[in-house]
Chains A and B, each alone.
Chain A
């Protein structure tokens, strides 16, 4: 049960993954660099303090002149204040900008995900997407705040510290340098193993989020079957897997810590032995030894921090990988917004002004070249035309036949066509091609003579309104939910749509049309949701209307009322209605029967009842006798 389609072991180097953050860091690079510079200075100021200390020990203290301690002590105080101030400045510099980087990465992810094709969302569990938008991005923010800066700062501090040590006494300095080489080797060995574990842990956390999400969204099924215990077991198993990976990470960390703490200390111990001997021999002053050891101890933090800085950077690198995996998925290219696709009569659209500025999310620098236009539409609108439309899902197994193998269908302008066919034959898929939720893999679909592939999606979707099989309401008011079918629709249009779909119950809600519905609001029954979704589809008096089994959740009485009102709407639009029952079919002028990936017959209800045994079977449920 893989929930994440791309469990590829990350072969990319962590550095390259992290470099991809550049575009997001660029706007704040000045502050980030300034912060790094300030931190480096502050850190080096900390290194100067032991030198002053040396002056105090070797000077006033050794000579029994306590009065002479004041100036150096003042210097220590000054340096200390500078250090404190600088560290504060460094944090202040990046506090807001880096929170901004995280936010803009999240906004971009959200924006991108909204525009990715539906087939992408079919493949990706939303828990995996969510964990990228939250946990992974906060890892990246914290990485920019601390580890990134301190990898640099600590490296510089280390180098400066070593120079100071060497300049004080080259022999002792060299002793301290000795463990560097083994440390580098061990760290890089550790790094590769840790990176794999880090990635695994993040993926497992994403899977866990998916289980949580499904357990909440499917709570009714779980409760109906008393399955919460087996769900809990599944969750338990997955969280144990995550725990195992986290423990693996901890073991790797423990090992590297042991090395990072021990090696430098052993070197300091050796330096102490050599230094003490040389002080005894009079080759070295006591003050130099004190200063040397103070400096060496001050360098411990930069070295020790290496372990978790590397670990954190690896976490961040795989978080970046996970982020860009999604961001790299291309959105389907959109037709240019040429602005003169107006040969399609845009009859009922009331909210044009709100949308004209949109370019479908991909800003375009200059006016793109005009695509070759289809022949001008005939003066009389042509309606919807499917010509040899083929479709297969991008992830369909090889060798399996296409779902749609050449659909030819013409819905005349103003006509209502019912689409019928056996369960699972591709009716819903066919309707999803019209607003280009999926892209046809062959053939073409024209609206009033214009190929939909040449219409900008945004514009296309304004022309085509859809009521889905599953009525989804968003967390917003009734008014907003309905009006999203036609931004800017007036109150009158709204009321008319509600009346058409027999959704007048909305006026009786606690706050009337301003009642919050959807997940965060008042829960409505399936029938109520379906009627609001229908109102949403018809409110803009769309030129083209797609209704997917629009009356399934309604009781007989309501269904009859909706049918009556819907007829008036359908009279003015070109519509495709997926129908499961005769009552819905009767809304249509003609019926198209979809079977084996094609339209096998088109005709009126009664014609098909007479001529098509398959149709008769669909409508009556009785297997017709073989003739």
Chain B
């Protein structure tokens, strides 16, 4: 019986901790767009991994609780097993005491019964402690692995659900740090630390009870010794909390720098950045080293004070016990048991320190993770999703309406002043204009990377905000300038457009866009692994793959955001030829700085400073005297 379930079908990571997604708790930090935003302030924290949202206290504990709750029965089982196991382990000294005080005198009376009984019980306890320990490890490993699985999944899904402006702010390295290094810290706590704590705590309770039962005076003295131990542990915790926070931050900075270098290795080498990078890395690495060293030194302090305390208590109880035995107030065996128990009681004090260490480290990591998970997606899923109406007629295209839309960055820089725009189903619209005119923002509103600040964007009358992601992506798909390839084969990369596509469909899409020949010429054709981010596939070829993806996705509305920039002229022509058939009946928005793409458009929008300044058929505009006519002449001149 496994309590693990498939990831929730709805895009529910935002809801994972029970909060409604609708509370769009907007991050305070400036929202930025990848494109031109020269007026925006720089990001809050460039180099170090400080969260702009330190999570309120208790959030990480609530997170841990929500992770453990589904496993409460299994956790209870593990607790039960460990209770029994510790009872079996700790019976040992008690049995020794019984053997010395009862069985030996009985033996002297030629009664071997008690001894045989004691030894049998001892061996049964030995077997039980071993087997229960094994059972405990299995059960608790299940719990902790399931918790980690859950946590990893939550981080991953949440990061995927968060909107682009978040990703642009948070940096990839830090998300990677959350999902790897920080989860590792929790893994350590769950797989080793927690077990230690349970065992230490349980044996402390058991031993105290046994000691009190054996002799309440000595027992009370031993129990009293927990008080200073508690204070020592508490001060250790307080001192290390800061150290561990520094550790998590430092390791994240190291990760950020590391990934940036590895992902940009070509320019690093070509521009001889190795030395400078080494220096910078050394700085970050040293901060991490110092934090690690500090935590180890704190641990040394803790071990010294805790052990000193423990050994002093043992010596004191020894003297007192000896007096009592000599008085006849205490049996010799009881005193022996006492000393055995006390040694055992304080033995795991090192391990307690290690637990506190991993706890501290995990707590710091959980804080960071909780802060990440506390970010609400700025583009939330609808609460009451609405389906798209059935397509009207044969054509796949749908009507797009920008209804009083305006868009501004959070800090108020207006990119698109209020405008209305209607694109009838099946129309191909080219959007042109200078860098920074707002072309890409228009596209990003239509693909719902952002929501408009005012007004609404409607697809066949339905507000984009009311569409669930799968429905939205059946409606609108965008091909961007940067065509990222994932690890895997070329075929798999094209199938990103439609995962259930057959091989024939994948090849058909590649053929339609003119990518078939180069793919077929690769060493293993469509099954060629693109390696790391397509090291061997040129930028132009990557754009063709990205196009094939979009064709395969077969959307009602296709957006091309400067998607042909790296193609050579034959490639671009092939794409244009393909577009004639592909775009037939589909609604398309083409953002382009190359005017050659415009030739296939039914309509051209010229944008300037966020406004649509010209709108008409290409031939009309070219023939006119407006900006487009000027742009077009310049482009003509740039050709052969």
Q: Is B318 an interface residue (CB 8 A)?
A: yes
Q: Are A556 and B634 in contact (CB under 8 A)?
A: yes
Q: Are A520 and B46 in contact (CB under 8 A)?
A: yes
Chain A residues lying within 8 Å of B259, measured Cβ to Cβ, are: 126, 130, 213
Please indicate which of the listed interface residues B37, B173, B568 has the most CB atoms of chain A within 10 Å of its own CB. Answer: B568
The distance in angstroms between the C-alpha atoms of A57 and B524, with both chains bound, is 81
Selected interface stretch from B94-102, B215-223, B609-617: B94-102
Contact flag A228-B181 (CB < 8 Å), given A254-B134, A257-B133, A510-B41: no
Q: Mark interface residues in A265-299 (1 if CB within 8 Å of B CB, else 0).
A: 11011101100110110000010011001100110
Q: Is B148 an interface residue (CB 8 A)?
A: yes
Among residues of A, the one whose C-beta sits closest to the C-beta of B309 is A84
Chain B residues lying within 8 Å of A257, measured Cβ to Cβ, are: 130, 133-134, 137
Q: Are B326 and A66 in contact (CB under 8 A)?
A: yes
Query: Closest CB-CB distance, A42 to chain B, in whole Å?
Result: 9
Q: Mark interface residues in A63-94 (1 if CB within 8 Å of B CB, else 0).
A: 01110011001101101110111011101101
The distance in angstroms between the C-alpha atoms of A221 and B485, with both chains bound, is 9
Among residues of A, the one whose C-beta sits closest to the C-beta of B544 is A423
The distance in angstroms between the C-alpha atoms of A26 and B543, with both chains bound, is 51
Q: Are B130 and A60 in contact (CB under 8 A)?
A: no
Q: Is A3 an interface residue (CB 8 A)?
A: yes
Query: Closest CB-CB distance, A510 to chain B, in whole Å?
Result: 6
Q: Are A294 and B272 in contact (CB under 8 A)?
A: no
Query: Closest CB-CB distance, B376 to chain A, in whole Å?
Result: 16
Contact flag A239-B480 (CB < 8 Å), given A135-B180, A521-B42: no
A-facing residues in B271-326 (Cβ within 8 Å): 271-278, 281-282, 285-286, 288-290, 292-293, 296-297, 299-301, 303-304, 306-308, 310-312, 314-315, 318-319, 322-323, 325-326
Query: Closest CB-CB distance, A355 to chain B, in whole Å?
Result: 7
Interface size class of A (residues with CB under 8 A): 35 or more
Query: Closest CB-CB distance, B546 to chain A, in whole Å?
Result: 7
Q: Are B108 and A280 in contact (CB under 8 A)?
A: yes
Q: Mark interface residues in A471-505 (1 if CB within 8 Å of B CB, else 0).
A: 01011000000001101000000000000000001
Contact flag A520-B266 (CB < 8 Å), given A423-B538, A511-B42, A552-B565: no
Contact flag A294-B274 (CB < 8 Å), given A212-B176, A286-B104, A516-B42: no
- Which of A254, A262, A552 lies in contact with B135, CB distance below 8 A? A254
Q: Is B453 an interface residue (CB 8 A)?
A: no
Contact flag A523-B277 (CB < 8 Å), given A66-B322, A118-B266, A290-B336: no
Query: Closest CB-CB distance, B596 to chain A, in whole Å?
Result: 9
Among residues of A, the one whose C-beta sits closest to the C-beta of B566 is A552
- Which of A53, A91, A556 lies in contact with B339, CB distance below 8 A? A53
Q: Are A583 and B260 in contact (CB under 8 A)?
A: no
- Which of B160, B180, B447, B594 lies in contact with A130, CB distance below 8 A? B180
Q: Are A76 and B314 in contact (CB under 8 A)?
A: yes
Chain A residues lying within 8 Å of B96, measured Cβ to Cβ, are: 272, 290, 293
Among residues of A, the one whose C-beta sits closest to the C-beta of B480 is A220
Q: Is B459 an interface residue (CB 8 A)?
A: no
Q: Are B104 and A225 in contact (CB under 8 A)?
A: no
Among residues of B, the one whose C-beta sits closest to the C-beta of A72 is B318
Q: Is B488 an interface residue (CB 8 A)?
A: yes
Q: Is B429 an interface residue (CB 8 A)?
A: no
Q: Is B25 an interface residue (CB 8 A)?
A: no
Q: Are B289 and A100 in contact (CB under 8 A)?
A: yes
Q: Are B275 and A212 in contact (CB under 8 A)?
A: no
Query: Closest CB-CB distance, B244 to chain A, in whole Å?
Result: 13
Selected interface stretch from A160-168, A409-417, A569-577, A613-621: A613-621
Among residues of B, the one whose C-beta sits closest to the C-beta of A464 is B270
Q: Are B484 and A474 in contact (CB under 8 A)?
A: no
Chain B residues lying within 8 Å of A458, measured Cβ to Cβ, are: 272
* A-B pairs under 8 A by CB, number: 582
- Which of A91, A246, A259 lies in contact with B296, CB distance below 8 A? A91
Chain B residues lying within 8 Å of A319, measured Cβ to Cβ, are: none
- Which of A91, A127, A258 lies in contact with B299, CB distance below 8 A? A91
Q: Is A607 an interface residue (CB 8 A)?
A: no
Q: Is A193 an interface residue (CB 8 A)?
A: no
Please indicate which of the listed interface residues B173, B318, B553 has the most CB atoms of chain A within 10 Å of its own CB. Answer: B318
Q: Are A525 and B440 in contact (CB under 8 A)?
A: yes
Q: Are A232 and B157 in contact (CB under 8 A)?
A: yes
Q: Are B281 and A424 in contact (CB under 8 A)?
A: no
Chain B residues lying within 8 Å of A87, measured Cβ to Cβ, are: 303-304, 307, 350
Chain A residues lying within 8 Å of B529, measured Cβ to Cβ, are: 1
Chain A residues lying within 8 Å of B339, measured Cβ to Cβ, are: 53, 294
- Which of B11, B277, B314, B484 lies in contact with A229, CB distance below 8 A? B11
Q: Is A122 an interface residue (CB 8 A)?
A: yes
Chain B residues lying within 8 Å of A437, measured Cβ to Cβ, are: 266, 269-270
Q: Is B400 an interface residue (CB 8 A)?
A: no
Q: Are A232 and B156 in contact (CB under 8 A)?
A: yes
Chain A residues lying within 8 Å of B92, measured Cβ to Cβ, are: 265, 268, 297
Query: Closest CB-CB distance, B342 to chain A, in whole Å?
Result: 11
B-facing residues in A13-72 (Cβ within 8 Å): 49, 53, 56-57, 60-62, 64-66, 69-70
The distance in angstroms between the C-alpha atoms of A525 and B168, with both chains bound, is 12
Chain A residues lying within 8 Å of B469, measured Cβ to Cβ, are: 226, 228-229
Q: Are A580 and B568 in contact (CB under 8 A)?
A: yes
Query: Closest CB-CB distance, B101 to chain A, in whole Å?
Result: 10
The distance in angstroms between the C-alpha atoms of A103 and B335, with both chains bound, is 50
Please indicate which of the listed interface residues A134, A138, A277 has the most CB atoms of chain B within 10 Å of its own CB. Answer: A134
Q: Are B160 and A286 in contact (CB under 8 A)?
A: no
Q: Are B297 and A95 in contact (CB under 8 A)?
A: yes
- Which of A258, A423, A464 lies in contact with B567, CB distance below 8 A? A423
Query: Closest CB-CB distance, A81 to chain B, in whole Å?
Result: 6
Contact flag A216-B176 (CB < 8 Å), given A141-B292, A397-B524, A553-B565: yes
Q: Are A294 and B278 in contact (CB under 8 A)?
A: no
Contact flag A555-B523 (CB < 8 Å), given A216-B167, A223-B449: no
Chain A residues lying within 8 Å of B137, measured Cβ to Cβ, are: 250, 253-254, 257
Q: Is A7 an interface residue (CB 8 A)?
A: no
The distance in angstroms between the C-alpha atoms of A525 and B286, with both chains bound, is 34
- Which of A70, A221, A515 lies in contact with B480, CB distance below 8 A? A221
Q: Are A549 and B566 in contact (CB under 8 A)?
A: yes
The distance in angstroms between the C-alpha atoms of A458 and B271, with both chains bound, is 9
The distance in angstroms between the C-alpha atoms of A521 and B286, with both chains bound, is 23
Q: Mark interface residues in A102-141 (1 if CB within 8 Å of B CB, else 0).
A: 1100110011011100100111111101110111001001
The distance in angstroms between the C-alpha atoms of A355 and B276, with both chains bound, is 11
Contact flag A515-B270 (CB < 8 Å), given A111-B278, A130-B258, A265-B129: no
The distance in angstroms between the C-alpha atoms of A455 and B434, with both chains bound, is 44
The distance in angstroms between the C-alpha atoms of A328 and B122, with both chains bound, is 53
Chain A residues lying within 8 Å of B344, measured Cβ to Cβ, are: 297
Q: Mark interface residues in B324-367 (1 if CB within 8 Å of A CB, else 0).
A: 01110000100110011001100100100000000000000000
Contact flag A524-B538 (CB < 8 Å), given A134-B254, A422-B568: no
Q: Are B311 and A80 in contact (CB under 8 A)?
A: yes
- Which of A84, A96, A464, A536 lies in contact with B297, CB distance below 8 A? A96
Chain B residues lying within 8 Å of A265, measured Cβ to Cβ, are: 92, 122-123, 125-126, 129-130
- Which of B123, B269, B327 lies in contact with A435, CB distance below 8 A? B269
The distance in angstroms between the C-alpha atoms of A3 and B486, with both chains bound, is 11
Contact flag A232-B153 (CB < 8 Å), given A135-B181, A212-B175, A212-B180: yes
Of the A-B pairs whose beta carbons lie under 8 Å apart in the complex, a sample of 29, sorted by A's number, is: A62-B332, A65-B326, A73-B322, A76-B311, A92-B297, A102-B292, A110-B261, A209-B179, A212-B179, A216-B159, A217-B172, A221-B483, A226-B469, A229-B7, A253-B137, A268-B122, A294-B339, A294-B340, A472-B266, A475-B256, A484-B273, A525-B35, A536-B271, A553-B565, A557-B631, A558-B434, A618-B570, A619-B569, A621-B570
Known: A268-B92, A423-B540, A468-B266. 14 other contacts (CB 8 A): A94-B296, A123-B531, A215-B159, A221-B496, A229-B470, A254-B141, A298-B343, A420-B568, A462-B272, A475-B260, A520-B46, A525-B35, A560-B638, A620-B569
Instruction: Across the A-B interface, give the 10 residue pairs with the lowest CB-CB distance, nearest first.
Output: A80-B311, A226-B473, A265-B126, A250-B141, A88-B304, A262-B130, A84-B307, A621-B573, A95-B296, A91-B300
